[in-house]
Chains A and B, each alone.
Chain A
Amino acid sequence: QITLKESGPTLVKPTQTLTLTCSFSGFSLSSSGVYVGWIRQPPGKALEWLALIYWNDDKRYSPSLKSRLTITKDTSKNQVVLIMTNMDPVDTATYYCAHSGPVYCSGGSCQMYYFDYWGQGTLVTVSS
């Protein structure tokens, strides 16, 4: 049974750095093909993908936020950490971490660009 849970501060001040931790169980981030991603959702708005990290430590970032994001993993602790610098009120959102869906093959191609399990999310408010 795969579970993920986000943790971190609920309130940060503008210009501060946000550090969020995703603690997970039910899978290993050292297994080939697995990745964990971060997605956020401002109140009343749409989902926005932020970053993800693969089992082999390969990392991907949203082009629009790349300069402010760092993602790391601690396989021994079953944790993934997201760091976002220079926080602004527009970064107020619920932040989710999610597990990569298994690879599937159809129509001659195999893909795994989706998330099958999500954490409950953690609301981060940016305000002075």
Chain B
Amino acid sequence: QSVLTQPPSVSGAPGQKVTISCTGSSSNIGAGYDVHWYQQLPGSAPKLLIYGNSIRPSGVPDRFSGSKSGTSASLAITGLQGEDEADYYCQSYDSSLGGSWVFGGGTKLTVL
């Protein structure tokens, strides 16, 4: 059971917008620790998609955006494309038990 909670799956048609939520608690997101997002294409290693809640690394399209509020965060993908079909993971830092890097359970995005 993951420390951060994500929906198991989301879907959308090409061109549409989807949002993936990530819910934490007072010892991680709610404590002020930022949320980071990774995209994992089938058969590949995770790739950093968003860091610091909303910062896109160089090369990541602006169709991807992130936000954080309270104990939750969200990843939004606009203008869905077939190549966006992947698993998405949120990640943060948890200050309990000596400090841990924690991940969400992952969300499978299906482009219809």
Contact = CB atoms under 8 A, between A and B. Distances in A.
Interface of A: 37, 39, 46-49, 52, 60, 62-63, 96, 101, 104, 106, 109, 111, 113-121
Nearest to B55: A104
Interface stretch (B10-18, B19-27, B73-81, B92-100): B92-100
A114 B103 contact: no
* Interface size grouping (class) on chain B: 20 to 34
Contacts of B52: 104, 106, 111, 114
Interface in B6-55: 32-34, 36, 38, 45-48, 51-53, 55
A109 B52 CA distance: 11
B101 A111 contact: no
A62 B55 contact: no
Contact of A46 (B51, B55, B100, B105): B105
Contacts, number: 72
B99 A60 contact: yes
A44 to B, nearest CB: 10
Given A39-B46, A114-B48, A118-B47, 14 more contacts: A47-B106, A48-B103, A60-B98, A60-B99, A63-B97, A101-B48, A111-B33, A111-B52, A111-B93, A113-B36, A114-B51, A114-B91, A115-B36, A116-B51
B102 A49 contact: yes
Question: Chain A at the B interface: mostly helix, strand, loop or mixed?
Answer: strand
A63 B100 contact: yes
B29 to A, nearest CB: 12
B2 to A, nearest CB: 6
B45 A120 contact: yes
Contacts of B47: 118
Contact of B103 (A49, A116, A117, A120): A49
Contact of B46 (A48, A62, A118): A118
Contacts of B53: 106
Contacts of B36: 101, 113-115
